[in-house]
Protein backbone atom coordinates (compact mmCIF):
# COMPACT_ATOMS: atom_id res chain seq x y z
CA UNK A 1 0.00 0.00 0.00
CA UNK A 2 1.32 3.46 -0.90
CA UNK A 3 2.66 5.33 2.12
CA UNK A 4 2.25 9.12 2.00
CA UNK A 5 3.60 11.62 4.52
CA UNK A 6 2.59 15.25 5.06
CA UNK A 7 3.89 18.20 7.10
CA UNK A 8 2.24 16.90 10.26
CA UNK A 9 4.22 13.66 9.99
CA UNK A 10 7.69 15.26 10.06
CA UNK A 11 9.68 17.23 12.62
CA UNK A 12 11.24 20.32 11.06
CA UNK A 13 13.41 20.86 14.12
CA UNK A 14 15.42 17.75 13.28
CA UNK A 15 16.89 19.16 10.06
CA UNK A 16 17.19 22.59 11.69
CA UNK A 17 19.47 21.02 14.30
CA UNK A 18 21.91 19.93 11.57
CA UNK A 19 24.31 21.67 9.22
CA UNK A 20 23.27 21.05 5.62
CA UNK A 21 25.64 21.32 2.66
CA UNK A 22 23.98 21.48 -0.75
CA UNK A 23 26.41 20.44 -3.46
CA UNK A 24 25.49 22.15 -6.73
CA UNK A 25 23.50 25.27 -7.56
CA UNK A 26 21.63 24.36 -10.71
CA UNK A 27 17.90 23.87 -11.14
CA UNK A 28 17.38 21.68 -8.07
CA UNK A 29 20.36 22.93 -6.08
CA UNK A 30 19.27 26.55 -5.97
CA UNK A 31 15.70 25.60 -5.03
CA UNK A 32 16.71 23.23 -2.22
CA UNK A 33 19.26 25.65 -0.79
CA UNK A 34 16.94 28.66 -0.81
CA UNK A 35 13.95 26.72 0.55
CA UNK A 36 16.10 25.27 3.33
CA UNK A 37 17.43 28.74 4.17
CA UNK A 38 13.91 30.18 4.30
CA UNK A 39 12.83 27.31 6.56
CA UNK A 40 15.50 28.30 9.09
CA UNK A 41 18.02 25.58 8.27
CA UNK A 42 21.75 26.24 8.60
CA UNK A 43 22.75 25.70 4.97
CA UNK A 44 25.76 26.35 2.75
CA UNK A 45 26.28 25.75 -0.96
CA UNK A 46 29.25 23.68 -2.03
CA UNK A 47 30.80 24.58 -5.40
CA UNK A 48 34.06 24.19 -7.25
CA UNK A 49 36.36 27.19 -6.79
CA UNK A 50 35.90 28.30 -10.40
CA UNK A 51 32.14 27.79 -10.59
CA UNK A 52 30.10 30.51 -12.30
CA UNK A 53 27.31 29.83 -9.81
CA UNK A 54 29.24 31.23 -6.83
CA UNK A 55 28.13 34.80 -7.55
CA UNK A 56 24.50 33.71 -8.04
CA UNK A 57 24.40 31.89 -4.73
CA UNK A 58 26.05 34.73 -2.85
CA UNK A 59 23.74 37.30 -4.44
CA UNK A 60 20.82 35.20 -3.16
CA UNK A 61 22.18 35.55 0.37
CA UNK A 62 23.66 32.08 0.70
CA UNK A 63 27.06 31.18 2.11
CA UNK A 64 29.35 29.38 -0.35
CA UNK A 65 32.22 27.01 0.36
CA UNK A 66 34.29 24.77 -1.87
CA UNK A 67 32.79 21.32 -2.35
CA UNK A 68 35.36 19.73 -0.04
CA UNK A 69 34.93 22.39 2.66
CA UNK A 70 31.15 22.04 2.51
CA UNK A 71 31.34 18.26 2.78
CA UNK A 72 33.62 18.51 5.80
CA UNK A 73 31.37 21.12 7.44
CA UNK A 74 28.00 19.50 6.85
CA UNK A 75 26.19 16.92 8.91
CA UNK A 76 23.92 16.38 5.89
CA UNK A 77 25.45 16.47 2.41
CA UNK A 78 22.96 16.89 -0.43
CA UNK A 79 24.35 15.85 -3.81
CA UNK A 80 22.52 17.74 -6.57
CA UNK A 81 25.20 17.94 -9.26
CA UNK A 82 24.51 16.33 -12.67
CA UNK A 83 24.46 12.52 -12.68
CA UNK A 84 27.57 12.21 -14.85
CA UNK A 85 29.79 14.27 -12.55
CA UNK A 86 28.54 13.11 -9.16
CA UNK A 87 30.95 10.20 -8.85
CA UNK A 88 33.93 12.46 -9.49
CA UNK A 89 32.79 15.03 -6.94
CA UNK A 90 32.12 12.24 -4.50
CA UNK A 91 35.52 10.58 -4.91
CA UNK A 92 37.52 13.82 -4.89
CA UNK A 93 35.74 16.02 -2.36
CA UNK A 94 32.99 14.22 -0.46
CA UNK A 95 34.24 10.74 0.42
CA UNK A 96 37.43 12.04 2.10
CA UNK A 97 35.27 14.23 4.33
CA UNK A 98 32.69 11.67 5.42
CA UNK A 99 32.56 10.45 8.98
CA UNK A 100 30.29 8.13 10.89
CA UNK A 101 26.78 9.42 11.41
CA UNK A 102 26.68 11.86 8.51
CA UNK A 103 23.87 11.74 5.97
CA UNK A 104 24.07 11.73 2.19
CA UNK A 105 20.93 12.88 0.39
CA UNK A 106 20.46 12.49 -3.34
CA UNK A 107 17.90 14.10 -5.65
CA UNK A 108 18.01 11.13 -8.04
CA UNK A 109 19.05 7.55 -7.39
CA UNK A 110 21.14 7.02 -10.53
CA UNK A 111 24.62 6.82 -9.01
CA UNK A 112 23.58 4.65 -6.07
CA UNK A 113 21.38 2.35 -8.18
CA UNK A 114 24.08 1.65 -10.75
CA UNK A 115 26.99 1.50 -8.33
CA UNK A 116 28.89 4.58 -9.47
CA UNK A 117 28.88 5.75 -5.85
CA UNK A 118 29.25 3.31 -2.95
CA UNK A 119 28.86 5.00 0.40
CA UNK A 120 30.45 3.63 3.58
CA UNK A 121 28.21 1.59 5.83
CA UNK A 122 28.47 4.06 8.72
CA UNK A 123 26.62 6.93 6.99
CA UNK A 124 22.94 7.33 6.19
CA UNK A 125 22.02 7.35 2.49
CA UNK A 126 18.66 8.84 1.55
CA UNK A 127 16.79 10.14 -1.48
CA UNK A 128 14.48 13.18 -1.66
CA UNK A 129 13.28 13.72 -5.23
CA UNK A 130 10.80 16.52 -5.96
CA UNK A 131 8.52 15.64 -8.85
CA UNK A 132 9.06 18.88 -10.68
CA UNK A 133 11.89 21.09 -11.94
CA UNK A 134 13.77 23.19 -9.42
CA UNK A 135 12.26 26.49 -10.46
CA UNK A 136 8.81 25.05 -9.79
CA UNK A 137 10.00 23.74 -6.42
CA UNK A 138 11.12 27.26 -5.51
CA UNK A 139 8.06 29.03 -6.93
CA UNK A 140 5.61 26.72 -5.16
CA UNK A 141 7.44 27.10 -1.87
CA UNK A 142 7.25 30.89 -2.09
CA UNK A 143 3.54 30.60 -2.87
CA UNK A 144 2.97 28.64 0.33
CA UNK A 145 2.46 25.40 -1.56
CA UNK A 146 4.82 22.58 -2.46
CA UNK A 147 5.86 20.06 -5.09
CA UNK A 148 5.31 16.40 -4.13
CA UNK A 149 8.45 14.44 -3.27
CA UNK A 150 9.34 10.78 -3.35
CA UNK A 151 11.59 9.62 -0.54
CA UNK A 152 13.80 6.58 0.01
CA UNK A 153 16.49 5.30 2.34
CA UNK A 154 19.23 3.02 1.03
CA UNK A 155 21.23 2.81 4.25
CA UNK A 156 20.06 3.60 7.78
CA UNK A 157 23.28 3.61 9.75
CA UNK A 158 22.04 5.83 12.56
CA UNK A 159 18.52 4.48 12.86
CA UNK A 160 17.23 7.99 12.11
CA UNK A 161 17.65 8.15 8.34
CA UNK A 162 13.94 8.14 7.59
CA UNK A 163 13.22 10.84 10.15
CA UNK A 164 16.00 12.99 8.67
CA UNK A 165 14.71 12.46 5.13
CA UNK A 166 11.15 13.41 6.05
CA UNK A 167 12.35 16.46 7.99
CA UNK A 168 14.44 17.56 5.00
CA UNK A 169 11.43 17.01 2.72
CA UNK A 170 9.36 19.26 4.95
CA UNK A 171 12.01 21.98 4.91
CA UNK A 172 12.02 22.21 1.10
CA UNK A 173 8.20 22.33 1.03
CA UNK A 174 7.60 18.87 -0.35
CA UNK A 175 5.38 17.60 2.43
CA UNK A 176 2.95 20.47 1.93
CA UNK A 177 1.88 18.49 -1.11
CA UNK A 178 2.88 15.04 0.11
CA UNK A 179 5.81 12.64 0.17
CA UNK A 180 5.60 9.09 -1.12
CA UNK A 181 7.81 6.34 0.23
CA UNK A 182 9.82 4.52 -2.43
CA UNK A 183 13.22 2.87 -3.01
CA UNK A 184 16.31 4.03 -4.88
CA UNK A 185 15.72 1.32 -7.47
CA UNK A 186 12.06 2.21 -8.04
CA UNK A 187 12.75 5.94 -8.28
CA UNK A 188 15.67 5.54 -10.67
CA UNK A 189 14.10 3.01 -13.02
CA UNK A 190 10.68 4.66 -13.24
CA UNK A 191 12.19 8.13 -13.62
CA UNK A 192 14.46 7.09 -16.48
CA UNK A 193 11.67 5.15 -18.15
CA UNK A 194 9.21 8.03 -17.91
CA UNK A 195 11.73 10.44 -19.41
CA UNK A 196 12.76 8.17 -22.25
CA UNK A 197 9.54 6.45 -23.24
CA UNK A 198 6.94 9.17 -22.64
CA UNK A 199 7.87 12.61 -21.31
CA UNK A 200 10.97 13.46 -23.33
CA UNK A 201 11.86 10.79 -25.87
CA UNK A 202 8.33 9.60 -26.61
CA UNK A 203 6.67 13.01 -26.74
CA UNK A 204 9.50 14.66 -28.73
CA UNK A 205 9.59 11.91 -31.34
CA UNK A 206 5.79 11.86 -31.66
CA UNK A 207 5.73 15.62 -32.24
CA UNK A 208 8.51 15.49 -34.82
CA UNK A 209 6.90 12.63 -36.73
CA UNK A 210 3.56 14.47 -36.71
CA UNK A 211 5.22 17.63 -38.02
CA UNK A 212 7.05 15.71 -40.76
CA UNK A 213 3.88 13.90 -41.83
CA UNK A 214 1.92 17.13 -42.31
CA UNK A 215 4.72 19.05 -44.03
CA UNK A 216 5.52 16.16 -46.36
CA UNK A 217 1.82 16.08 -47.27
CA UNK A 218 2.03 19.71 -48.42
CA UNK A 219 0.70 21.62 -45.42
CA UNK A 220 2.36 24.82 -44.21
CA UNK A 221 5.05 24.22 -41.56
CA UNK A 222 3.58 26.98 -39.41
CA UNK A 223 0.16 25.33 -39.37
CA UNK A 224 1.73 21.95 -38.68
CA UNK A 225 3.68 23.45 -35.75
CA UNK A 226 0.52 24.82 -34.17
CA UNK A 227 -1.36 21.55 -34.52
CA UNK A 228 1.27 19.10 -33.25
CA UNK A 229 3.44 21.12 -30.85
CA UNK A 230 1.89 24.40 -29.75
CA UNK A 231 -1.44 22.90 -28.70
CA UNK A 232 0.20 20.00 -26.92
CA UNK A 233 0.57 22.13 -23.78
CA UNK A 234 -3.18 22.68 -23.67
CA UNK A 235 -3.80 18.94 -23.72
CA UNK A 236 -1.08 18.13 -21.19
CA UNK A 237 -2.38 20.83 -18.82
CA UNK A 238 -5.81 19.19 -18.90
CA UNK A 239 -4.27 15.79 -18.19
CA UNK A 240 -2.26 17.30 -15.33
CA UNK A 241 -5.41 18.83 -13.84
CA UNK A 242 -7.71 15.81 -14.08
CA UNK A 243 -6.09 12.89 -15.86
CA UNK A 244 -6.82 11.59 -19.33
CA UNK A 245 -10.53 11.64 -18.46
CA UNK A 246 -10.58 15.44 -18.05
CA UNK A 247 -8.74 15.90 -21.32
CA UNK A 248 -11.35 13.80 -23.12
CA UNK A 249 -14.18 15.60 -21.34
CA UNK A 250 -12.80 19.02 -22.28
CA UNK A 251 -12.12 18.54 -25.99
CA UNK A 252 -14.74 18.35 -28.72
CA UNK A 253 -16.65 15.16 -29.43
CA UNK A 254 -14.84 15.00 -32.74
CA UNK A 255 -11.46 15.11 -31.02
CA UNK A 256 -12.54 12.59 -28.40
CA UNK A 257 -13.77 10.14 -31.02
CA UNK A 258 -10.52 10.57 -32.96
CA UNK A 259 -8.63 9.89 -29.72
CA UNK A 260 -10.36 6.53 -29.37
CA UNK A 261 -10.17 5.34 -32.98
CA UNK A 262 -6.88 6.79 -34.20
CA UNK A 263 -4.68 6.85 -31.10
CA UNK A 264 -4.29 3.05 -31.03
CA UNK A 265 -3.47 3.08 -34.77
CA UNK A 266 -0.49 5.37 -34.19
CA UNK A 267 0.56 4.08 -30.77
CA UNK A 268 -0.11 0.43 -31.51
CA UNK A 269 0.85 -2.60 -29.35
CA UNK A 270 4.33 -2.66 -30.90
CA UNK A 271 5.06 0.61 -29.11
CA UNK A 272 4.45 -1.07 -25.77
CA UNK A 273 6.85 -3.84 -26.74
CA UNK A 274 9.50 -1.23 -27.56
CA UNK A 275 8.80 0.42 -24.20
CA UNK A 276 9.50 -2.92 -22.52
CA UNK A 277 12.84 -3.02 -24.34
CA UNK A 278 13.67 0.48 -23.09
CA UNK A 279 12.73 -0.56 -19.54
CA UNK A 280 14.91 -3.66 -19.81
CA UNK A 281 17.92 -1.54 -20.79
CA UNK A 282 17.27 0.66 -17.76
CA UNK A 283 16.86 -2.30 -15.41
CA UNK A 284 19.95 -4.18 -16.59
CA UNK A 285 22.15 -1.07 -16.60
CA UNK A 286 22.75 -0.94 -20.36
CA UNK A 287 21.44 2.62 -20.66
CA UNK A 288 23.47 3.83 -17.68
CA UNK A 289 26.63 2.26 -19.10
CA UNK A 290 26.04 3.79 -22.53
CA UNK A 291 25.42 7.24 -21.04
CA UNK A 292 28.37 7.24 -18.65
CA UNK A 293 30.81 5.77 -21.18
CA UNK A 294 29.80 8.43 -23.70
CA UNK A 295 30.18 11.19 -21.11
CA UNK A 296 33.60 9.88 -20.10
CA UNK A 297 34.66 9.99 -23.75
CA UNK A 298 33.68 13.64 -24.07
CA UNK A 299 30.02 13.00 -24.95
CA UNK A 300 30.40 12.54 -28.74
CA UNK A 301 27.13 10.64 -29.13
CA UNK A 302 25.24 12.99 -26.84
CA UNK A 303 26.48 16.12 -28.61
CA UNK A 304 25.83 14.68 -32.07
CA UNK A 305 22.28 13.77 -31.10
CA UNK A 306 21.73 17.21 -29.57
CA UNK A 307 22.92 18.87 -32.78
CA UNK A 308 20.72 16.61 -34.90
CA UNK A 309 17.67 17.46 -32.79
CA UNK A 310 18.39 21.19 -32.88
CA UNK A 311 18.60 21.14 -36.68
CA UNK A 312 15.15 19.60 -37.16
CA UNK A 313 12.92 21.93 -39.26
CA UNK A 314 10.35 22.17 -36.46
CA UNK A 315 12.85 24.19 -34.40
CA UNK A 316 13.33 26.89 -37.03
CA UNK A 317 9.58 27.09 -37.54
CA UNK A 318 9.01 27.37 -33.81
CA UNK A 319 11.56 30.15 -33.31
CA UNK A 320 9.88 32.19 -36.01
CA UNK A 321 6.37 31.66 -34.68
CA UNK A 322 7.22 32.29 -31.02
CA UNK A 323 8.37 35.79 -32.00
CA UNK A 324 4.70 36.51 -32.72
CA UNK A 325 3.63 35.89 -29.13
CA UNK A 326 3.69 38.70 -26.61
CA UNK A 327 3.69 36.10 -23.83
CA UNK A 328 6.76 34.17 -25.02
CA UNK A 329 9.20 33.32 -22.20
CA UNK A 330 11.89 35.92 -21.63
CA UNK A 331 13.73 34.55 -18.61
CA UNK A 332 17.37 33.51 -18.72
CA UNK A 333 16.56 29.87 -18.06
CA UNK A 334 14.66 29.75 -21.34
CA UNK A 335 17.15 31.65 -23.47
CA UNK A 336 20.23 29.94 -22.05
CA UNK A 337 18.82 26.45 -22.55
CA UNK A 338 20.80 23.62 -20.96
CA UNK A 339 23.29 26.01 -19.38
CA UNK A 340 20.63 26.96 -16.83
CA UNK A 341 20.14 23.42 -15.58
**191 labelled ligand-binding:** yes
**227 labelled ligand-binding:** yes
**48 labelled ligand-binding:** yes
**3 labelled ligand-binding:** no
**28 labelled ligand-binding:** yes
Residue 96: CB partners within 8 Å, gap ≥ 6? 68, 71
- Helical segments of 114-267, H only: 134-142, 161-171, 174-177, 184-193, 201-216, 221-225, 232-250, 253-266
**140 labelled ligand-binding:** no
Residue 49: CB partners within 8 Å, gap ≥ 6? 66
**17 labelled ligand-binding:** no
CA distances from 119 to 6, 21, 242 (A): 29, 17, 41
**320 labelled ligand-binding:** no
Among 120, 63, 65, 113, CA closest to 90: 120
Cβ atoms of 135 and 333 within 8 Å: the answer is yes
Name the catalytic one among 5, 30, 37, 108. Answer: 108
**53 labelled ligand-binding:** yes
**39 labelled ligand-binding:** no
**25 labelled ligand-binding:** yes
**26 labelled ligand-binding:** yes
- Distance between terminal CA atoms of the chain? 35
Task: Verify whether residue 108 is a known catalytic residue.
Answer: yes
- Using CA atoms, how far apart are residues 277 and 296, in angstroms rounded to an integer? 25
- Using CA atoms, how far apart are residues 114 and 154, in angstroms rounded to an integer? 13
Among 172, 169, 239, 226, CA closest to 199: 239
**189 labelled ligand-binding:** no
Give the residue ranges of the annotated binding site: 25-28, 48, 51, 53, 134, 191, 195, 227, 231, 252
Active site residues: 108
Give the residue ranges of the annotated binding site for NADP(+): 25-28, 48, 51, 53, 134
Give the residue ranges of the annotated binding site for Mg(2+): 191, 195, 227, 231
Give the residue ranges of the annotated binding site for substrate: 252
Amino acid sequence: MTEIHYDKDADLELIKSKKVAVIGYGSQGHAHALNLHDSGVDVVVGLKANSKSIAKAEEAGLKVMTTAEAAAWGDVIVILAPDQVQRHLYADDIAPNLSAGKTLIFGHGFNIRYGYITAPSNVDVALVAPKGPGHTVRREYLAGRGVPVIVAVENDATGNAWETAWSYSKAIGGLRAGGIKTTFTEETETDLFGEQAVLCGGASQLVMYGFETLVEAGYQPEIAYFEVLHELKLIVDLMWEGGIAKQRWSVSDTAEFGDYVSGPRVIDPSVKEHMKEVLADIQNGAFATRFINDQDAGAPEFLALREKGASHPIEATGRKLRELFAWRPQDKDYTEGSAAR
